[in-house]
Amino acid sequence: MTELLTQGAVWGVLLTGGAFALGTVLQKKTGQVWCNPLLLATLFILLFLRLCEIPYPEYKASAGPVSYLLLPATVSLAVPLYEQWEALRKNAAAILSGIAAGVVVSLAAILALAWVFHLDRASAVSLLPKSVTTAIGVDVSGELGGIPALTTAVIILTGIFGNLSAQAVCKLFRITDAVAKGVGIGSASHAIGTSRALEMGPVEGAMSGLSIAVAGILTALLCPLAVNLLP
């Protein structure tokens, strides 16, 4: 059975697409926030690989074309940003300050965890770029001596958590301004969180998309400095 499934060159692409489609259907049927398509798709794929005893490297190689879409998908977030250019122009200083604050707090939190839990250097470096898109975070981690695979996993988990909790956090802290919501979500949970921001509104989505790019650049610049502060 396993050999039959893995004979095709793009079976991983079909499995990924099918798992995400199933997750989307379940979310629409249940209407529950925790039924996030990405989270459910991840669980479905892990279960499928486990039951069929398919090594992860084989799935990764077959699903490779999906990864090629990551950069174009991220760049496409410039479209809603262009549509909300006026809001960006009027709030430029506040937006950039908010993104910078988000990046600094994210890095400071990892530094604090590294000191408190005595994390080894490689693990701590891998966690530093947790809140930026995978395309940037993995490269930053690898260049600074981190573990790219761990960085990828942490980035995905951070995004999923941000996606699931974004609306609840905004409600809890009474954040009602659309620009503030978008900046917070994009700075904390990159593209996966931005998908939730786009559902919340066009301004939220545009500001979140901008935050991905700016937060990625700032993280790449500040991570080398943060590494010097690790225990």
- Residue ranges covered by each domain of the chain: 2-68, 78-227
State how far the alpha carbon of 185 is from the alpha carbons of 99, 138, 173, 207, in Å: 10, 20, 13, 9
| Residue corresponding to tokens 């379940």 | 26
Nearest to 151, CA basis, from 166, 134, 163: 134
Average pLDDT over the chain reads 89
Q: Which two tokens stand for residue 105?
A: 């707090």
What is the pLDDT, as a whole number, of residue 70? 73
Q: Rounded CA gap, 58 and 62, in Å?
A: 6
The H or E element containing residue 189 is helix 178-200
Would you give the DSSP letter of residue 7?
S
Residue pLDDT tens, the chain, 231 long: 555 455 556 788 889 999 999 999 998 898 887 788 888 998 999 999 999 888 888 888 888 888 778 777 777 777 887 888 888 888 999 999 999 999 999 999 999 999 999 999 999 999 999 999 888 899 999 999 999 989 999 998 999 999 999 999 999 999 999 999 999 999 999 988 998 999 899 999 999 999 998 999 999 999 999 999 998
86: burial class by Cβ within 10 Å (0-12, 13-18, 19+)?
A: exposed
What is the pLDDT, as a whole number, of residue 6? 53
Residues 6+ apart with CB under 8 A from 201: 178, 181
